[in-house]
A and B are shown apart, each in its own frame.
Chain A
Amino acid sequence: MKSNNIQQNALKKANFKTKIDLLVKFIFAFLALICACVVIFIVIFILVKGIQPFIIPDGSGATQNISDFFLNPNWLYDGTGGMSYMMLATIYVTLLSLIISVPTSIFCGLFIVKVCPKSIKEILKTGVQILASIPSVIFGLFGMGVLKPIVKGFANAVGMQTFGGSSVLTGVLVLAFMTIPTITLVSITSMEAVDINLSKASLALGASNQQTNYKIVLKASQSGIFAGTILGIGRALGEATALQMVIGNGGVGWDFLNVFNIYRTLTTTMLAGIGEATGIKYDIRFSLGIVLIIVIVVTNILLNLLKNYMTRIDKGEPKDKNKIGIIKNIKIYLEAYVHAKKN
């Protein structure tokens, strides 16, 4: 009798639980939908606003010529820029900053995880965490107050000119400073996750500590370091405030290739003088926004593809094998294609 009761109760409860599960699922789906809608709304809003300057004349009757937008170095309303140049400058500045920040972060991470005494490890980690959460405008101030004079002095020392310390190089340095904590933090996490038994095995084989760090710890955490780099790239590509404070917001065409020149990136152009801008000068910033979104999406897709590939390598799959696989596949497709053509 009793057990019968329990069973009936259990059935009732189980039905109830299933309903709750369903409800929770529904709520989550709803929340996800809202998020998706917000993102879609933002993208559509920027698309519509960004396409407008090319078709609809603004208050003063001006429209933006498309080929000028893409290619003319003397572009637009104030005679500077050229979207393609700015886009390249954005990527250029990001890449240069990564050249500084990625190695630095890797060594910082390795030092914190494997080299420094345990007593100061936590202190250093907390320090990096704090650095990672400092708002960009502070890095901008740091750039203005500290880096600008240094860059100015350095430029003079090597016989170059800067615009009072404002330059592409200063921007690169600020971005490097901003991305180092992010990349270091993620690297630390992935280095700490490396199985301690691998390090022990390496040491037991007569490898030195340094050999173990480079050949085992770094190798096994490279996909994590890469994930950190992706975050860093995201931060660098999208950074506006700090960059705008030190990069000078001028220059035309290929000027950016000389790191002592002032220049402008997509983000700084959007931000600079937005308060006073009206008409097409205001709307064109949305067009630049479209370009920035495309750049970020494309880089992310490429980097993630690369990351998947690297994770495979991480597991010890040799590189050449994968290439052979791709070639084989292409061969199979070609053969199938030729076969289909024949019939």
Chain B
Amino acid sequence: MNNENNKDEVVFDVKNVNLFYDNGAKQALKDINMKIYKNKVTAFIGPSGCGKSTLLRCFDRMNELVDNSYRDGIITYNGEDIKDINSIYLRTRVGMVFQQPNPFPMSIKDNIFYGPRCQGVKDKKILNEILDESLKGAALYDEVKDILNKSALGLSGGQQQRLCIARTLAMSPDVILMDEPTSALDPIATLKIEELINELKKKYTIIIVTHNMQQAARISDYTAFFMLGELVEFNKTEEFFSHPQDKRSEDYITGRFG
């Protein structure tokens, strides 16, 4: 299932991960093994409730905030077990974009400054450099350069989502996790974000959860297909969509269920 003779550099290595909710009453992930490669886009697909978001949240340890849940197995980040990495530090390296755009109720500028300021960056010059870079990185600069002091809540949904991406870029992370970042957006805004992802993967490693198989095929290098908490198939995207190895993958791709 995993590409053994793959030369891409591994960022995350997931080994035998099981995850339980409700004090073990519900198993959301079953013995997951997979690798996330550097500067690649990895797409997670699968029917609703199969554990995509759960696994995604494991990478930045956000899932530990869920009460009564626990995980076993090992996830390494650049070779180090993430359990041994300070979660606050880990989250500065591994950014996350949520399904619903969730800008802070502050000005556009302050949204971008939020992360760096939390790390103690006070220098106006550095902050402004970060501001320009991250807004340009998220392809939002031209639209908001004149309204930086306006409330971020006044932006359209698509702009808000790109602001959330920019906010993540401001931390200059290593990996960006995206949980269905386009599901709340119209086709044009979706296209913009997809173009953006193509651009971003030059610098960042991206993991994206999506319900849209065309989207996965368009933007990702690797695709992981989940069902009922199991990783059914993980392969290069082209391979996955042209020659699915598993019967269930094939059924899902061809739309026979899910």
B171 sits at the interface (CB 8 A): yes
Q: Is A316 within 8 A of B91, CB to CB?
A: no
The 8 Å CB contact of A202, one of B100, B114, B168, is B114
The 8 Å CB contact of A205, one of B89, B114, B151, is B114
Which residues of chain B have C-beta atoms less than 8 A from A220's C-beta? Answer: 105
| CA A220 to CA B102, docked complex, whole Å | 13
Q: Is B95 within 8 A of A205, CB to CB?
A: yes
Q: Is A316 within 8 A of B102, CB to CB?
A: no
Q: A203-B65, A216-B104, A316-B110 are in contact. Are A208 and B60 (CB under 8 A)?
A: no
B188 sits at the interface (CB 8 A): no
Q: Is A206 within 8 A of B110, CB to CB?
A: no
A2 sits at the interface (CB 8 A): no
Question: Least Cβ distance of B5 to chain A in Å?
Answer: 35
Q: Is B119 within 8 A of A206, CB to CB?
A: yes
A3 sits at the interface (CB 8 A): no
B106 sits at the interface (CB 8 A): yes
Question: Least Cβ distance of A193 to chain B in Å?
Answer: 12
Q: Is B171 within 8 A of A316, CB to CB?
A: no
Which residues of chain A have C-beta atoms less than 8 A from B107's C-beta? Answer: 316-318
Q: Which of B32-70 contact A (CB under 8 A)?
A: 60, 62, 65, 67
| CA A198 to CA B160, docked complex, whole Å | 13
Question: Least Cβ distance of A290 to chain B in Å?
Answer: 42
Q: Which of A205-249 contact B (CB under 8 A)?
A: 205-208, 211, 215-216, 219-220
A118 sits at the interface (CB 8 A): yes
> How many interface residues does B have (CB within 8 Å)?
31
Q: A205-B171, A206-B88 are in contact. Are A316 and B106 (CB under 8 A)?
A: yes
B193 sits at the interface (CB 8 A): no
Q: Is A206 within 8 A of B91, CB to CB?
A: yes
Q: Is A321 within 8 A of B149, CB to CB?
A: yes
The 8 Å CB contact of A118, one of B67, B89, B119, B164, is B67
| CA A204 to CA B168, docked complex, whole Å | 9
CB closest chain-B residue, reference A316: B151
A200 sits at the interface (CB 8 A): yes
CB closest chain-B residue, reference A208: B88
A315 sits at the interface (CB 8 A): yes
A11 sits at the interface (CB 8 A): no
A314 sits at the interface (CB 8 A): yes
Which residues of chain B have C-beta atoms less than 8 A from A215's C-beta? Answer: 114, 118
The 8 Å CB contact of A200, one of B62, B89, B118, is B62
CB closest chain-A residue, reference B119: A206
Most chain A Cβ neighbours within 10 Å, of B89, B91, B171:
B91
Which residues of chain A have C-beta atoms less than 8 A from B167's C-beta? Answer: 201, 205
Q: Which of A297-316 contact B (CB under 8 A)?
A: 314-316
A178-208: contact bitstring with B at CB < 8 Å (1 yes, 0 no)?
A: 0000000000000000010110111111111
Q: Is B92 within 8 A of A206, CB to CB?
A: yes
B152 sits at the interface (CB 8 A): yes
The 8 Å CB contact of A203, one of B91, B100, B149, is B91
Which residues of chain A have C-beta atoms less than 8 A from B164's C-beta? Answer: 201
The 8 Å CB contact of A316, one of B89, B153, B168, is B153
CB closest chain-A residue, reference B67: A118
| CA A312 to CA B89, docked complex, whole Å | 34
Q: Is B95 within 8 A of A207, CB to CB?
A: no
Q: Which of B84-114 contact A (CB under 8 A)?
A: 88-89, 91-92, 95-96, 98, 100, 102, 104-107, 110, 114
The 8 Å CB contact of B60, one of A202, A204, A318, is A204
| CA A225 to CA B139, docked complex, whole Å | 37
CB closest chain-A residue, reference B105: A316
The 8 Å CB contact of A207, one of B96, B114, B151, is B114
The 8 Å CB contact of A315, one of B149, B153, B171, is B153
B115 sits at the interface (CB 8 A): yes
Q: Is B149 within 8 A of A204, CB to CB?
A: no
- Interface residues, chain A, CB within 8 Å of chain B? 118, 195, 197-198, 200-208, 211, 215-216, 219-220, 314-318, 320-321
Please, could you name 18 A-B residue pairs with CB atoms under 8 Å apart, sorted by A? A198-B104, A201-B164, A202-B104, A204-B91, A204-B95, A204-B98, A205-B167, A206-B115, A208-B118, A215-B118, A216-B104, A315-B105, A316-B105, A316-B152, A317-B107, A318-B107, A318-B150, A320-B149
What 6 pairs between A and B have smallest CB-CB spacing?
A316-B151, A206-B92, A205-B115, A204-B96, A207-B118, A206-B91
- Interface residues, chain B, CB within 8 Å of chain A? 60, 62, 65, 67, 88-89, 91-92, 95-96, 98, 100, 102, 104-107, 110, 114-115, 118-119, 149-153, 164, 167-168, 171
Known contacts A118-B67, A201-B167, A321-B149; can you find 19 more A-B pairs with CB under 8 A? A197-B102, A198-B104, A200-B98, A201-B164, A202-B118, A203-B65, A204-B98, A205-B92, A205-B118, A205-B167, A211-B118, A216-B104, A316-B104, A316-B105, A316-B106, A316-B107, A316-B150, A316-B153, A317-B151
